[in-house]
Amino acid sequence: MSAPTGTAGIRHSQTMNARQWTEIGQEILAFLLAASCPGCDRTGTLLCEQCHSALTAAPTEVITPGGLRVQSALSYQGVVARSIRRVKEEGATMLARPLGRALATVLAPAAAGGALIATVPTSRAAFRRRGFRVPELLVRRAGFAAQRMLLPARATGDQRGLSRDERARNVSGSIRTRSPAERGRPVVIVDDVVTTGATLDEAARALRAAGFRSVRAVTLAATPRHCDTPKSDAVG
């Protein structure tokens, strides 16, 4: 049977488009009805109003063992931690929008003046599992564009449960830099969470080895050990 042509073909195409949009709308509605708030488990909502307020940025600054300044928008606990885990472990990418707005509060000042934005690389295994790169998604939802300047140089072990020194050894030499063409510009490294700072230090090492000198970092969240003793509440 041949495809419709002329006016009939246009009508057929419009009908198909309307049908596709209806199906998409039904899928989104079904998702929302099946969803539950990551903060309080209330059903039928992606994020309830009360828990949404927990994602309001409260920036802190920490210093990594390597001396890198890191601005973090939120504390990695409670609603924040559960929201990030839901994005990473369950693919709830709609939550990246409110999380991205929080990230923007620290990323915008850091990227002012034309700084390049480089996200911490995602392992191949994590990308295959999720189908997206968490730091890049958060940067887009914050209203910015990241350059994939940092790449995995080798596989690393799971960081969970490792001490600060063990984490540093685990990631040492694990990141390389794609041949940069703009070494004179400042760079802002972006990651979702800073724990000990070992990964951010390794990313900064790779950038400096490639010729970048002005390097700083921002993250969506910092673990409580950092947020309990902030170096500064200012962003800039």
- pLDDT band, residue 85 (cuts 50/70/90): very high
Model-wide pTM > 0.85:
no
Residue pair 174/38 in contact by the 8 Å Cβ criterion: no
Average pLDDT of the chain to the nearest whole number? 82
Distance of CA 60 to the CA centre of its chain: 17
Q: Which residues are CB-contacts of 119 (< 8 A; sequence separation ≥ 6)?
A: 133, 135, 136, 139, 146, 148, 150, 189, 190, 191
For position 184, what pLDDT does the model report?
74
The CATH number fitting domain 54-227, selected from 3.40.50, 2.60.40, 1.10.1060, 3.10.450 = 3.40.50
Give residue limits of the domains in the chain. 54-227
Percent of the chain with pLDDT over 90: 53
Q: Which of 11-20, 59-68, 128-137 has the lowest mean pLDDT?
A: 11-20
CA–CA separation, 222 and 213 (whole Å): 24
Res. 223 pLDDT band, cuts 50 70 90: very high
Contact 231, 63 (CB under 8 A): yes
Question: Taking 60 as the threshold, does the pLDDT of residue 192 lie above it?
Answer: yes
**Whether 212 contacts 68, CB under 8 Å:** no
Element (H, E) at 217: strand 215-222
> CA end-to-end span of the chain, whole Å?
64
Mean pLDDT computed over 3-8: 49
Average pLDDT over residues 10-19: 55
Query: Is the pLDDT reported for residue 233 higher than 50?
Result: no
